[in-house]
Chains A and B, each alone.
Chain A
Amino acid sequence: MMKVSYFPGCTLKTKAKQLDIYARACAEVLGVTLEELPDWQCCGGVFNTSKDEIATKLSAVRALSAAGKAGQPLVSICSACHNVLKQTNAAMQNDSEFASHVNHYITQTGQGQMAPYHGETTVLHYLELLRDVIGFDKVKSCVKYPLTGKKIGAYYGCLLLRPSSVMAMDDPENPQILEEFIRAIGAEPVIYAMRNECCGGYMTLEEKSLAQKKSTAVLDNASSAGADLLVTACPLCKYNLDKNGQNPLPVVYFTELLAEALGIKEA
Chain B
Amino acid sequence: MGLTWANRMCKKKSGVKIRTERLHLYYGSVHALRDITIEIAANRITALIGPSGCGKSTFLKTLNRMNDLAGNVRITGGVYLDGRDIYAPQIDVAKLRKRVGMVFQQPNPFPMSIYENIAYGPKIHGMRQKGELDRIVEESLRGAAIWDEVKNRLDEPALRLSGGQQQRLCIARALAVQPEVLLMDEPTSALDPASTIKTEELMKKLRTDYTVVVVTHNMQQALRVSDDTLFFLNGELVEAGQTKELFLAPADRRTQDYITGKFG
Q: Do A and B interact with each other, yes or no?
A: no
Residue numbers of A with Cβ under 8 A of B are none
